Amino acid sequence: MAVPKKKKSSSKGGMTRAHWHLKKPGWVTCPQCQEVMRLHRVCKACGFYKGKSVIEKTA
């Protein structure tokens, strides 16, 4: 197993940790009903995904 020869400085550790942040999830508008929805998921308002009705919604 590899073992570091010297301790990593706090500034180098901070540079490594600088990219550990969370990314915002993608949001788009539904082409059917214009509601805001998550990317690559079925629209909760109308039940459509990629132009096809996946879930039957009652009016």
Residue 59 has pLDDT above 80, yes or no: no
Q: Kindly list the domain boundaries of the chain, sorted by start residue.
A: 27-59
Q: Would you place residue 55 in the very low, low, confident or very high pLDDT band (cuts 50, 70, 90)?
A: confident
Average pLDDT over residues 2-31: 92
Q: How far apart are CA 25 and CA 20, in angstroms?
A: 15
29 forms beta bridges with: 36
Judged by DSSP in three states, 49 sits in strand
pLDDT exceeding 90 applies to what percent of the chain?
69
Q: How far apart are CA 7 and CA 33, in angstroms?
A: 56
Q: Would you place residue 10 in the very low, low, confident or very high pLDDT band (cuts 50, 70, 90)?
A: very high
pTM score of the predicted model: 0.56
- Tens of pLDDT, residue by residue over 29-54, are 999 999 999 999 999 999 999 988 98
